[in-house]
Structure formats: C-alpha cells, structure tokens
C-alpha cells in the first residue's frame, strides 16, 4: 500500500505553481482533499494509473525544489524561532513582575511578543 507523505501538502503550498495543472490538481485532491486515486480518476477523467503518475511526478518536482531552495524548512525554522521568542518573552515578563518591576522592560517585552505573533501569522 502506498503511504502518504503529509509533508508534501506543505511543499505543495510552497511550490505548487511550478507543477503542471494536472499534477497540481491531482496532488491537491490527493493531499488536501484526501481523495483516493480512484476518486481522483473519476473526477478528472484520467486513468487511475495516470493519476498516480501525475502525483509521483509532482512529488519529485516538489522534493527537488525543496532540496534546492529549502523554503519549507526555512519557514518551519522561522516559526519555531518565533515561538521560542514568545516563550522567552513570557519568561522575561514573569521575572520582571516578580522582581523590581520595570515599565521599560514590560513595554519592550510587549513589543517583542507583538512582533513574534506577527511572524507566526
């Protein structure tokens, strides 16, 4: 049985425009809509084997692009770093309240939190 690599759904978001229309459509149905090869075949009028081939070729393109550009990896790293910043800012805020409260530290911590949340949007 063929097992789905769900990371490909994310790669499809980043590099989907580089695929042919048929590849993109088949991959969107398969990964985003969770349709079976038979269902996609019925919907698109392509044979089941043709659908599988479109998906496999599309996967190859997406994986090659990620290997070259690493956009999804960089996005994930940025997201993790922004979450770490939020966590650290929260710790700083707690320490500030427990110790000699500084309005200046509180204001800067709020700005850090706001900036990190913007990154995570």
- 54, 69, 84 — which closes off a domain? 69
| 81 and 27 both lie in a single domain | no
CA distance 85 to 83: 5
Single pTM value for the model: 0.79
CA distance 80 to 28: 26
Range of the domain at 87: 73-120
Contact 116, 82 (CB under 8 A): yes
CATH number of the domain at 45, please: 1.10.10.10
pLDDT, tens only, 44-68: 999 999 999 999 999 999 999 999 9
| 77 and 62 both lie in a single domain | no
| 12 and 34 both lie in a single domain | yes
Q: What is the pLDDT of residue 5?
A: 81
Is the predicted pLDDT of residue 102 greater than 90, yes or no?
Answer: yes
Q: What is the pLDDT of residue 2?
A: 54
> For 75-103, what is the mean pLDDT?
95
What is the pLDDT of the chain when averaged over all its residues?
Answer: 94
């Amino acid at each position: 049985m063929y097992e789905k690599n769900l990371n490909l759904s994310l790669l499809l978001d980043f590099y989907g425009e580089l695929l042919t229309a048929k590849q993109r459509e088949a991959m969107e149905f398969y990964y985003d809509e969770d349709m079976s090869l038979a269902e996609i075949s019925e919907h698109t009028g392509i044979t089941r084997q043709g659908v599988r081939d479109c998906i496999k070729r599309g996967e190859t393109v997406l994986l090659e692009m990620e290997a070259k550009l690493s956009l999804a990896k960089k996005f994930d790293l940025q997201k993790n770093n922004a979450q770490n910043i939020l966590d650290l800012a929260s710790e700083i805020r707690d320490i500030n309240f427990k110790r000699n409260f500084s309005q200046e530290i509180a204001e800067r911590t709020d700005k850090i939190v706001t900036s990190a949340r913007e990154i995570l949007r």
